[in-house]
Amino acid sequence: MGMTEAILLTIITAATPLLIAALGELVVERSGVLNLGVEGMMIVGAATGFAAAVLTGSTLVGVLAGIAAGMILAAIFAALALGLAANQVATGLALTILGIGLSGLIGRDFVGARRDPLAKIAVPWLSDLPMVGKVLFAQDPIVYASALLAVGVWWFLWKTRAGLVLRAVGESHGAAHALGYPVLRIRLLAVLFGGGCAGLAGAYLSLAYTPFWSPGMTAGRGWIALAIVVFAGWLPLRAVIGAYLFGGVTVLQLHAQARGWGIPSQAMSALPYLATIAVLVVIALRRQGEAQAPASLGTPFVPDR
């Protein structure tokens, strides 16, 4: 395997959890809800998925358990932020703190345990193509699923009536309610979907990317996923570009350390987060003409009684 091919493969694996989590949060924010609990949902998904896979011996069960764990935390967030109209920023931060603590409890008996990573699925003939064969056509199932998810989210938001309704709720929940649309139900489904995506992203980290469990293994990826949504201008296909861009930055720091470039490891480890700040600054400076956030983003909705 050539160096270029190896780098591309590591970029894809590094970008996949970011892409999945970002797509889930993009749908949530399109509905008008700001969920800052993505990091907590990811790490609980990672711990629960790994624990379930070890206990049952099934990676599929682990993936499903990770998704379920993310959705359970998302349901708690929805109960507070939607049902009780609590402040969404504070609720999301609280869920992140809860998730980090809960993941330590769930994964305490599995620190240091290892599992075989997800098996690759090679597409006949195509996987033998030079350069792009193994990169595009010999990946694990979740990488393929992330590509399908990106297309599916784009199609749902821009080509279906349900997606149009969800975007309308995010732009003006009052007008959508006046037209008879169930705003809270739509937002609940969006939040659950986002939680499931965050849980899947976490399960990918512990079952495919590493694959083992260690406390804090998400290492801020949930926050990067939130930044990718802003970077993408709340557009699904731009989120793909953002995820692979940040995945490339993550891989750059690993290769720089491996090649001994003489740059302090702490500085290289901070590189993805510095890139996040830089991108957000550029977006803020060039906001004119770019896609804007949904008008009702972060605003609680209390239906008239």
pLDDT tens-place string over residues 77-94: 999 999 999 999 999 999
Residue 297 counted as domain residue:
no
Residue 32's domain is classified under what CATH number?
1.10.3470
**Alpha-carbon distance 194 to 216, whole Å?**
20
Does residue 292 form part of some domain?
Answer: no
H helices present in the chain, as ranges:
3-30, 38-56, 59-78, 88-106, 133-137, 141-159, 161-171, 173-178, 183-204, 221-231, 236-259, 265-269, 271-285
25-66 pLDDT, tens per residue? 999 999 999 999 999 999 999 999 999 999 999 999 999 999
Query: Is 181 among the domain residues?
Result: yes
The residues, ordered by sequence, that sit 6+ positions from 219 with a Cβ below 8 Å of its Cβ are none
SS3 label, residue 186: helix
Q: CB-hemisphere CA count at 13 Å for 153? A: 29
State whether residue 107 is helix, strand or coil.
Answer: coil
pTM of this prediction?
0.91
Question: Count of domains in the chain?
Answer: 1
Q: Which tokens hold the place of 11? A: 């970029």
Of the candidates 275, 299, 245, 185, the residue with the CA atom closest to the CA atom of residue 22:
245
Please return the burial class of 48, using the count of CB atoms within 10 Å of its CB with bins 0-12, 13-18 and 19+.
Answer: buried
- Please give the chain's pLDDT, 305 residues, in tens: 567 777 888 889 999 999 999 999 999 999 999 999 999 999 999 999 999 999 999 999 999 999 999 999 999 999 999 999 999 999 999 999 999 999 999 999 998 888 888 888 888 887 777 777 788 888 999 999 999 999 999 999 999 999 999 999 999 999 999 999 999 999 999 999 999 999 999 999 999 988 889 998 998 899 999 999 988 889 999 999 989 988 888 777 666 665 666 666 666 667 777 777 777 777 666 655 455 789 999 999 988 75
Tell me the C-alpha distance between 53 and 89, whole Å.
33
Residue 128, domain member (yes or no)? no
| 39: in domain | yes
C-alpha 70/C-alpha 41 separation (Å) is 5
Question: Looking at the domain assignment, is residue 180 inside a domain?
Answer: yes
DSSP state of 213: B
Task: Report CA 115 to chain centroid distance, whole Å.
Answer: 23
Which run of H or E residues covers position 175? Answer: helix 173-178
Q: CB within 8 A of 16, min separation 6: which ones?
A: 142, 143, 146, 201, 204, 209, 243, 247
301 in a domain, yes or no? no
272 occurs within a structural domain? yes
Q: What is the pLDDT of residues 5-23, one digit of tens each?
A: 778 888 899 999 999 999 9
Domain that holds residue 34: 3-112+135-285
Please name which of 106, 82, 283, 62 lies closest in space to residue 194, comparing C-alpha atoms.
Answer: 82
